[in-house]
Amino acid sequence: MSVLVHLCAPADWRAALSAGAVPPAGAPFVHLSHPEQVHLPAARLFPGRRDLVLLVVDPARLTDPVVEEPGVGTDPAGMRFPHLYGPLPTAAVVAVVPYRPPVPPVLPAPDDALGRALAHGLSLRTRRAAEVRDVPGGVAVLDPRFAHSRDDNRLVLDDPVDAATVARTAGEVAADAGWVHRAAVLRRPGAGAVAHELAAAGWEAGELLVMARPAGPGPPGAERAEVVAQEEVHPLWEAGWRRDLAGSPDLDEVVAQLVGREARNDRVVAVTDVVVREGGRVVAAGQLRVDGATAAVESVMTEPAARGRGHADAVLARLLELAADAGCDLVTLEADADDWPRHWYARRGFAAVGSTWEIGAPWPPQPGGATQDSRR
């Protein structure tokens, strides 16, 4: 059987992540659909909505019976819908994708690690955004509260688009939205050629490897890492951004936004922060973002003076354990294709399954083709 889907509001899905399952509502079953059917309940239950999510369900992970039954009288004659007679476990949801008709959703298969990783990133960005706009090749996500965060104010492009279109679209959105930069992430295979063309025109471009491994046991030392409230990690993040962005204009405001933006993630996915301490002080940290059966590792870092003591291994080991405990079978991350951490992750079981390209340039354009750090 191919994947099944369930349409819901983002807030309902976030509640399910905390509860571990989507409960039946108003019926003794959870209403699922085959992908080609979902437009019917969408039009009936959520007319005009474009802020919904599609849960991509692997039927092999369901333990309660799924029965093909009629829908409502207005459905085409003879049509049957899959009804799950029991709760829908979040661990059976292999991907969560935006539902923005008439744009057709891309539904990754359970064994498609790259597709699931990309779905995780797109869905997180669109669900937490203050505004989402359709643009050629994908969407623009916007959040004026965090104007210096390029991850929250940029184009997210999954379909083929040429360099001129990327540059023009980024400039148009930047001018209209008041961005202080132009930025995009190119997520389709072969995007490197477009990124290199933009780099030749003065943009900064960097390749990120998408890496993945199964959840479960990782390096030793998980017991040394503890789960904490996110506020305990803020001083470590702040110090890291100040090192990376030293000399930047408006440094205090930029750092405040880059740290402050992180609190929104837990409103749309299940976020856990873990740390290692020395002498009671946080010296290493990492974050896990769980969205159904897919988890993403983010922000693994160690204070420079505390490196070489296995703290990052302890953090990663705890994150992998937490992913397994949440029912995840896949853990993903992104690593700079030209930097050493990619090799560190590879030695710990992560394999590259694809790549994306991040590009950025100032707005308004600066004389001499000045570039900027596109990693914020």
Reported as a single tens digit per residue, the pLDDT across 100-138 is: 999 999 999 999 999 999 999 999 999 999 999 999 999
Distances (CA, A) of 359 to 207, 225, 366: 9, 34, 16
pLDDT of 304 reads 96
Tokens of 49: 């909505």
Query: Is the whole-model pTM more than 0.85?
Result: yes
216-328 CATH fold: Aminopeptidase (3.40.630)
For the cut 70, the answer to whether the pLDDT of residue 371 exceeds it is no
pLDDT of 123 reads 95
pLDDT of 373 reads 53
Tokens of 123: 């869905």
For the cut 70, the answer to whether the pLDDT of residue 375 exceeds it is no
pLDDT of 1 reads 53
For residue 355, what are the contacts with CB-CB under 8 A and spacing of at least 6? 192, 207, 208, 209, 210, 337
pLDDT of 367 reads 58
**Every domain of the chain and the residues it spans:** 4-111, 131-209+358-369, 216-328
Q: Which amino acid is at 292?
A: G
Dihedral, 147, 148, 150, 153 alpha carbons, nearest 10 = 0
Query: Over the chain, what is the mean pLDDT?
Result: 94
Helices and strands of the chain, counted as H and E runs: 9, 19
| 302 bridge partner residues | 284
Residue 87 CA to residue 64 CA, distance in Å, equals 8
Residue 339 CA to residue 47 CA, distance in Å, equals 47
Give Cα 275 to chain centroid, integer Å.
21
Q: What sign does the CA torsion over 17, 20, 23, 28 have?
A: positive
For the cut 50, the answer to whether the pLDDT of residue 370 exceeds it is no
Reported as a single tens digit per residue, the pLDDT across 137-147 is: 999 999 999 99
Q: What angle do CA 246, 201, 151 make, to 5 degrees?
A: 50
Least confident of 10-19, 42-51, 316-325, 339-348: 42-51
- DSSP conformation letters of 122-138: HHHHHHH-SEEEEETTE
Place of tokens 């740290």: 259
Beta strand ranges found along 292-365 (DSSP E): 294-302, 330-336, 351-362
Q: What percent of the chain has pLDDT over 70?
A: 97
Residue 90 CA to residue 292 CA, distance in Å, equals 5
Report which of 194, 201, 196, 169 is spatially closest to residue 183, judged by C-alpha positions.
Answer: 169
Q: What sign does the CA torsion over 149, 154, 157, 161 have?
A: negative
**Other Cβ atoms closer than 10 A to 339:** 12
For the cut 60, the answer to whether the pLDDT of residue 368 exceeds it is no
Reported as a single tens digit per residue, the pLDDT across 192-242 is: 999 999 999 999 999 999 999 999 888 899 999 999 999 999 999 999 999
For residue 267, what are the contacts with CB-CB under 8 A and spacing of at least 6? 14, 128
| 228 bridge partner residues | 273
| Contact assessment for residue 54 and residue 97, using Cβ atoms and an 8 Å cutoff | yes
3 state DSSP class of 143: coil
- CATH top class, domain 4-111: alpha beta
3-state percent helix, strand, coil for the chain, nearest multiple of 5:
35, 30, 35
| 57 bridge partner residues | 4, 93
Residue 315 CA to residue 338 CA, distance in Å, equals 23
Q: Which amino acid is at 51?
A: D
pLDDT of 249 reads 87
Length of the chain: 376
Reported as a single tens digit per residue, the pLDDT across 10-67 is: 999 999 999 999 999 888 999 999 999 999 999 998 999 999 999 999 999 999 999 9
| 143 bridge partner residues | none
DSSP 82: E
What is the strand order of the sheet 281-291 is part of? 131-135, 138-142, 154-157, 181-186, 351-362, 204-214, 330-336, 294-302, 281-291, 270-278, 226-228
